[in-house]
Amino acid sequence: MPRNVFLFSFLLFSIFTFSQSKVLINNNLDVVEDVLKRKKMIDVVSHFILEKSTKNEDLTIVNPDNKLETWLFLNELRKLQNSKVFSTNYMLMYEVTSAEASNKNNFTIHLNCYYEDKEIKNSVAKIEIILQEINNKYLVSSAIKNNLPRWESKTIENYNFYFEKEINEKKLRDFIAKNNQLSLNLKEQKIPTKIYCVDDIYKAYELFGIAYKRDYSPNNFFLGIESATDNNQSTLIVATKKGMLDDFSFGSLWKARITEKYPQKNLYVPVLEGYSYINDEHPFYKWEQIWIHFKNAYSVSQKTDWLSLYGTKQNFSLSSTPLYIENLINAMIIKTIEKEKGFSGVLELLNCGKFEGENQDNYFKTLENVSGITKANFNEKIDKLITSEDLSK
């Protein structure tokens, strides 16, 4: 059914304010004639856009269909709203620019997200959301249903992949194997998972309904993973240079899964990065290459005080692609821990707390518990691990 497009004239606005942000919505919302329905629609849109204090899972106005995609939409919107520039310098505003009705119960709402600087309106993003009336209640979801039909898809096992460019099936199965192994290590059940493969994370947000106004230069892109999970399903955005998984770093998957499961304040970054090192999950180097860089930087003939060096974040690679000594030391340590105590020992060390250069007390306390390595025997143990790693090459 073709959509009827209704443009708003903005002769009169209702203003809804939460904190500093505002939504400007035309009172003459002609998509529905019923005044009470119109007010309900306005209230729901405003609450969805502006209510930053409510957790995604507690937002009862989110449509269960494509719930996780809507959570990802909200995560990105909240990042924008909570960014320093818009929490301290400027006030974000939202205005409805148009709406489309596919039938009497389904609407697509378009908003312009902007800020004003010296009375000049500066657009930040175009926002698109879907509003549906179900059992006399309005529910909101991301615009992915409107945008996904032009994408290709492939189902393998309990995974649904979505992509613009054809992807080699072996790459998809490699991804599945890695993700399933992480689920096993984290003692999590395998659940239905959607994967959106893109060559720029901004494209994924356009798919979900946030189209940023930005410089489209070739260097303006973001690679990595964004994820949302509940007990029954998982959704991942996987952004690579080509959008085809060919140059995908599984270290990004490891970090996304870990930060989804554990509070970031508990995570010890050198262990997080060290695990990426030994599993060839660094975005630029394989473990063999990392080891060569390390051996070139630290001569075997020259005795090194590893304990004194630890916490200084000394880089033994290029400044553009740094490799830090703490990460490498922990890479060797967790290889031994995983072999002797299993992955639970790695997780215990990983969750010892934030990495602080001058205060490593929690780290060394946990390290002793899971490996027997102490400050007193640290240098001796690390030298043995280095020798063992050399012999394995």
pLDDT tops 70 at residue 277:
yes
Kindly report the number of other CB atoms within 10 A of residue 103's CB atom. 11
Percent of the chain with pLDDT over 70: 87
Q: Do residues 224 and 278 share a domain?
A: no
Of 14 and 155, the structure prediction assigns the larger pLDDT to 155
pLDDT tens figures, 43-91: 899 899 988 888 999 999 999 988 999 999 999 999 988 888 888 888 8
Crossing angle, helix 287-297 and helix 325-341, to 10 degrees? 130
Strand partners, 193: 159, 234
Q: How many domains does the chain have?
A: 3
Quote the domain boundaries for residue 278: 266-392
Domain check: are 205 and 281 in the same one? Answer: no
Residue 325 to residue 69: CA distance in whole angstroms: 38
Please state the φ and ψ torsions of residue 34, each to the nearest 5 degrees: -65, 120
pTM of the model: 0.83
Residues 359 and 247 in one domain: no
Looking at the structure, do residues 199 and 297 belong to the same domain, yes or no?
A: no
CATH code of 73's domain:
3.10.450
**Pairing of β 159-163 and β 193-198:** parallel
Q: Which of 260, 294, 328 is the last residue of a domain?
A: 260
Cβ(141)–Cβ(63) below 8 Å: yes
Please check whether residues 210 and 130 belong to one and the same domain. no
Q: Angle at which helices 343-350 and 269-278 pack, to 10 degrees?
A: 140
**Confidence check: pLDDT of 26 > 60:** no
Same domain, 101 and 212: no
Question: Do residues 226 and 274 both lie within one domain?
Answer: no
> What is the structure's pLDDT at 376?
97
pLDDT tens readout for residues 290-300: 999 999 999 87
9 with 138, same domain: the answer is yes
pLDDT digits (tens, 9 = 90+) for 207-236: 899 999 865 444 444 567 889 999 899 999
Kindly state whether residues 138 and 9 are assigned to the same domain.
Answer: yes
> Which residues does residue 130 pair with via DSSP β-bridges, in sequence order?
108, 141
Same domain, 231 and 158: yes
Final residue of a structural domain among 242, 260, 278: 260
